Amino acid sequence: MQAILALEDGRIFRGEGYGAKGECYGEVVFNTSLTGYQEIFTDPSYAGQIVVLTNPQIGNYGTNAADNEANKPYIEGLVTREFSPISSNWRSQLVADEYLERFNIPVISEIDTRALVRHLRTHGVMRGVISSIETNSDLLVQKARSIRKMDGTDLASVVTTKTRYEWEPEIDPLNPEEKPVPADLHVVAYDYGIKKNILRMLSKEGCRVTVVPAQTSAEDVLAMNPDGIFLSNGPGDPEPLGYAQDTIKELAGKKPIFGICLGHQLIGLALGGKTFKLKFGHHGGNHPVQQTENGKVEITSQNHNYAVDAASINQEEVELTHVNLNDNTVEGLRHKSLPLFSVQYHPEASPGPHDSHYLFRDFRKMMEEFKK
């Protein structure tokens, strides 16, 4: 079937439609990861966004339940250069086309994704529509312009768990004989759009994890007497999440806190800083980040459109621990007197490199020291 991608500035791309027949609406962003398309599909941080994958061949190894980062895809739509209608991999349980159709996700393929990415880099992320049912491109452009902007929208409340639950460590299908690490620490994880691999990483560090909804009060969390508190990734603008910022202020200093991605931005706001929207965001598994203390460089996995403003942080109280080598944006914070630190990128890296796994060990060490 034929499909159209229309951007709010009037740029039109025509291609072949896959996945679900219909229309989808969202902010159009691009991701430069070479692998892990299923993990990208199911990352709740992509709620409200249409994702362009720069790797040209997508879908060729299919999908399987073990690679899900959530129980369903959260992307609004998908844009690719080539989308395989078949899969060739021993782990595949369902071809990507059928998988996305099952969850009503439209796909447009056979377009020049290089031209689209150059357009977004030049003009910034913008709203767009994918349609396989409407042929009037002018009408689709008007629809794109009518989409609600992500700025000022609380999407964490949309994707968060509705009830508290205990994470049950999973058996690794690639290492089925690997035994779970005994849990001797208790972590409460705020779900602003949490990914499963974060929970796996915490479990591997000997943590029993209780996941709570985004609007859970500090009082309720402290009543669980955790050894540490984790603030997860999530979609959208951090500024509307005033409830989360207030909660972090109440919890700071009472328990060790580790935040990533949206959790990092919320910590920055809770500490009196400000955030701003990046021109086209950071989305991919190849972003270089430097540790300010020793100069060591990590290649990191990232997925965010907002960043903490370095100039707004009181550096007498807060240390800037990591910086992005592409654009010098803040990638990490650590409070100088309180047990609290955060990073903008994804140390669980699913998909992505494993350079930053040490941060989960640092969190465990902080909890152990706080208990003493």
| pLDDT tens digits, one per residue of 59-75 | 999 999 999 999 999 99
For the stretch 229-272, pLDDT in tens is 999 999 999 999 999 999 999 999 999 999 999 999 999 999 99
Spot the catalytic one: 261, 283, 298, 322. Answer: 261
8 labelled catalytic:
no
346 labelled catalytic:
yes
- The percent of residues above 70 in pLDDT, for the chain, comes to 99
Give the CA diameter of the chain: 67
Q: What confidence score (pLDDT) does residue 14 get?
A: 98
348 labelled catalytic:
yes
**Which pair of structure tokens corresponds to residue 197?**
């691999």
Decide if pLDDT at 173 tops 80. Answer: no
Q: In whole angstroms, give the CA distance from residue 164 to residue 282.
A: 30
Spot the catalytic one: 282, 287, 322, 346. Answer: 346
Decide if pLDDT at 175 tops 90. Answer: no
For the stretch 304-318, pLDDT in tens is 999 999 999 999 999
- The pLDDT mean for the chain works out to 96
Q: What confidence score (pLDDT) does residue 180 get?
A: 83
Domains of the chain, start order = 2-146 (3.50.30.20), 156-371 (3.40.50.880)
User: Taking Cα atoms as reference points, which of 276, 45, 64 lies closest to residue 158?
Assistant: 45
- The percent of residues above 90 in pLDDT, for the chain, comes to 96
For the stretch 103-117, pLDDT in tens is 999 999 999 999 999
Spot the catalytic one: 8, 23, 205, 348. Answer: 348
Q: What confidence score (pLDDT) does residue 331 get?
A: 98
DSSP 62-122: -B-GGG-SSSS---SEEE-SEE-SS---TT-SB-HHHHHHHTT-EEEESS-HHHHHHHHHH
Q: Average pLDDT of 220-231?
A: 98
Res. 174 pLDDT band, cuts 50 70 90: low
